[in-house]
């Protein structure tokens, strides 16, 4: 077994999207190869409805998949194919935009006015850029949840983990998407296939992710116990941890415990041409997408 080194630890940055939704972005619109096959990750958490209820009105997507996971509040969605629905607390939607779709996402707070959820963008390989759009809407009770003897809880949203398989299937990036809670003071190790790129996103509590070597450019404390070197990154609320190559991730939960998403996927390793919500392989393909939007041919007829 080999421990994945922590390449980088950074806080998600505040930004605005849609019609004025205040959110925090962990990564996106910078270096698409950094976490290939994943392109962007947003944390939309707010207790002021005025900062999120304007939502994300009608906009296009092509060439990617979007994964929306709601923790509090709800999101109403609709699209150009006539699909409508609502995501509630604990629900997941995996949307394959493929050849093109126009949709809207309108968040609403819970009884206390709180809204919290995440959206992850996954790239599609060139062979699937123009595949037919589709949705996979999953209700919270259909997501497997496993509790280990030490109190660690894992919701398996996508992929297989601890003998359970998540309900979302047929995804190009072969991802694993886990919602993990580790109790206070517990040290826990999680297996990840070596071929996957991986990151963690801490959104409750804090903890320390163990490391095998000191990554450059990150201010961390180091402890040496025998031959093992533990890197204390003291990851807390809204923190991204980007891992290197290996097949294990170890975390030591802090005094309040820690809850984080652990996400991994097979890199696509293809050229990326990216403009807003459209991600293709070449500039010519981007130009064609823009022309399709202007000409009203962006949505491909169903066969």
Beta-carbon contacts of 191 under 8 Å, excluding residues fewer than 6 positions away, are: 247, 248
pLDDT at residue 277 in the model: 93
The pLDDT of residue 222 is above 80:
no
Check: CB of residue 43 under 8 Å from CB of residue 23. yes
Of the CA atoms within 13 Å of residue 167, those in its CB half-sphere come to: 16
105 annotated to bind ligand: yes
CA 143 to chain centre: 16
Q: Per-residue pLDDT for 148 more than 90? A: yes
Q: What share of the chain is helix, strand, coil (3-state, %, to 5)?
A: 5, 55, 40
Separation between Cα atoms, residue 97 and residue 196, nearest integer Å: 23
pLDDT over threshold 70, residue 226: no
Cβ atoms within 10 Å of 220's Cβ, excluding its own:
16
Collect all residues with Cβ–Cβ distance below 8 Å to 70 and sequence separation of at least 6: 87, 88, 89, 90, 91, 92, 116, 117
Domains and CATH numbers, the chain: 6-265 (2.60.120.10)
In contact, 164 and 144? CB cutoff 8 Å: yes
Would you say 59 is a known binding-site residue? Answer: yes
Q: Given CA atoms 85, 88, 91, 97 in this order, what sign does their dihedral have?
A: positive
Mean pLDDT of all residues belonging to the chain:
89
Of 165-169, 211-215, 232-236, the least confident: 211-215
Of the listed ranges 115-124, 170-179, 203-212, the one predicted with least confidence: 170-179
CB neighbour list of residue 297: distance below 8 Å, 6 or more residues apart = none
Q: What is the pLDDT of residue 215?
A: 37
End-to-end CA distance of the chain: 48
| pTM listed for this prediction | 0.91
| CA distances to 149, 258, 274 from 203, in Å | 23, 8, 28
């Amino acid at each position: 077994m080999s421990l994945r080194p922590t390449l980088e630890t950074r806080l998600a940055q505040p930004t605005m999207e849609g019609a004025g939704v205040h959110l925090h972005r962990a990564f996106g619109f910078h270096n698409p190869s950094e976490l290939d096959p994943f392109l962007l990750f947003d944390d939309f958490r707010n207790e002021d409805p005025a900062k999120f209820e304007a939502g994300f009105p009608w906009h296009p997507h092509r060439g990617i998949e979007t994964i929306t996971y709601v923790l509090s509040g709800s999101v109403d969605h609709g699209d150009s194919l006539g699909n409508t629905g609502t995501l509630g607390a604990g629900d997941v939607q995996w949307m394959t935009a493929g050849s093109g779709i126009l949709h809207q996402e309108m968040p609403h707070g819970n009884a206390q006015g709180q809204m919290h959820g995440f959206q992850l963008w996954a790239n599609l390989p060139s062979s699937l850029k123009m595949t037919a759009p589709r949705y996979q809407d999953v209700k919270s009770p259909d997501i497997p949840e496993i509790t280990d003897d030490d109190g660690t809880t894992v919701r398996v949203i996508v992929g297989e983990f601890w003998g359970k398989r998540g309900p979302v299937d047929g995804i190009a990036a072969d991802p694993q998407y886990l919602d993990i809670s580790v109790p206070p003071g517990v040290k826990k190790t999680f297996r990840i296939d070596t071929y996957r790129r991986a990151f963690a996103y801490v959104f409750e509590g804090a903890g320390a992710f163990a490391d095998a070597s000191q990554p450059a450019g990150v201010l961390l404390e180091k402890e040496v116990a025998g031959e093992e070197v533990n890197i204390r990154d003291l990851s807390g609320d809204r923190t991204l941890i980007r891992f290197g190559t290996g097949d294990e991730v170890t975390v030591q939960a802090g005094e309040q415990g820690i809850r984080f998403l652990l996400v991994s996927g097979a890199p696509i390793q293809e050229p990326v041409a990216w403009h807003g919500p459209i991600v293709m392989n070449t500039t010519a393909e981007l130009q064609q997408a823009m022309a399709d939007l202007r000409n009203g041919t962006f949505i491909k007829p169903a066969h």
